[in-house]
């Protein structure tokens, strides 16, 4: 089956506005949007820029807007998207500056993650206390509610309407990361961490 891919493009060095370019591609069974984009880049237009790495839905590098929704391109089936929407429209993530085409600048995202101190703050304790298991976690003593499953892809920030109007808002990923450490019984600086999240 031969399908048309509408890709939103922008080269800041030569373009003043985003524009859409269409590419026709023969689609095979089981092909993902990432597979298709790599083929378009390799076979039709080597100037197309996109970011990807693991191709296994682990790294989050290939997150982009596909048919109006933030998705991992490596997990998104071309055939299913076509069946649902009757088109394959690909664009960069919203709420991030575009570096080129489908590649966005994630530095503000990572700055907010670092801003919530994404590690445990523990008070030094005597070796005897540590040896006695004072820092050990008891099974079922607390839950992270799957917050550790976040792969830091930035899709939540791209979809966040609050972030769209208030760039200073920490965003869902940073707040979830802060909550993960607030919920940890080993955290000794919970009040300081709470103030960090409240200020932003």
The separation between CA 97 and the C-alpha centre of its own chain, rounded to angstroms, equals 14
What is the spatial distance between Cα 1 and Cα 3, in angstroms, rounded to a whole number? 6
- CATH of residue 144's domain is 1.10.1060.10
Count CB-CB contacts under 10 A for residue 21: 13
- Overall average pLDDT of the 109-128 stretch: 72
More confident residue, 175 or 190: 175
Exposed e or buried b for every residue in 36-69, given b needs 16+ CB within 10 A?
bbbbbbeeeeeebbbbbeebebebbbbbbbbbee
- In the predicted model, is pLDDT for residue 138 greater than 80? no
Domain edge (last residue) among 104, 121, 143: 104
Residue 62: CATH number of its domain: 3.10.20.30
One domain, residues 80 and 126: no
pLDDT at res. 199: 43
pTM of the model: 0.79
Q: What pLDDT is recorded for position 144? A: 55
Average pLDDT, the chain: 84
């Amino acid at each position: 089956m031969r399908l048309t891919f509408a890709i939103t493009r922008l080269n800041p060095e030569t373009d003043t506005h985003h524009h859409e370019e269409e590419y026709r591609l023969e689609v095979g069974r089981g092909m993902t949007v990432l597979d298709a984009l790599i083929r378009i880049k390799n076979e039709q237009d080597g100037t197309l820029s996109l970011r990807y790495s693991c191709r296994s839905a682990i790294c989050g590098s290939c997150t982009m807007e596909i048919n109006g929704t933030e998705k991992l391109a490596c997990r998104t089936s071309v055939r299913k998207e076509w069946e649902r929407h009757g088109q394959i429209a690909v664009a960069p993530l919203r709420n991030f500056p575009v570096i080129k085409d489908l590649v966005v600048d994630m530095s503000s995202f990572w700055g907010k993650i670092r801003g919530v101190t994404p590690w445990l703050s523990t008070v030094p304790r005597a070796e005897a206390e540590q040896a006695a298991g004072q820092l050990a976690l008891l099974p079922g003593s607390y839950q992270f509610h799957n917050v550790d499953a976040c792969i830091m892809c930035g899709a939540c920030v791209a979809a966040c309407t609050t972030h769209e109007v208030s760039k200073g808002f920490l965003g869902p990923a940073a707040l979830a990361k802060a909550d993960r450490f607030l919920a940890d019984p080993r955290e000794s600086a919970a009040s300081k961490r709470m103030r960090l999240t409240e200020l932003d």
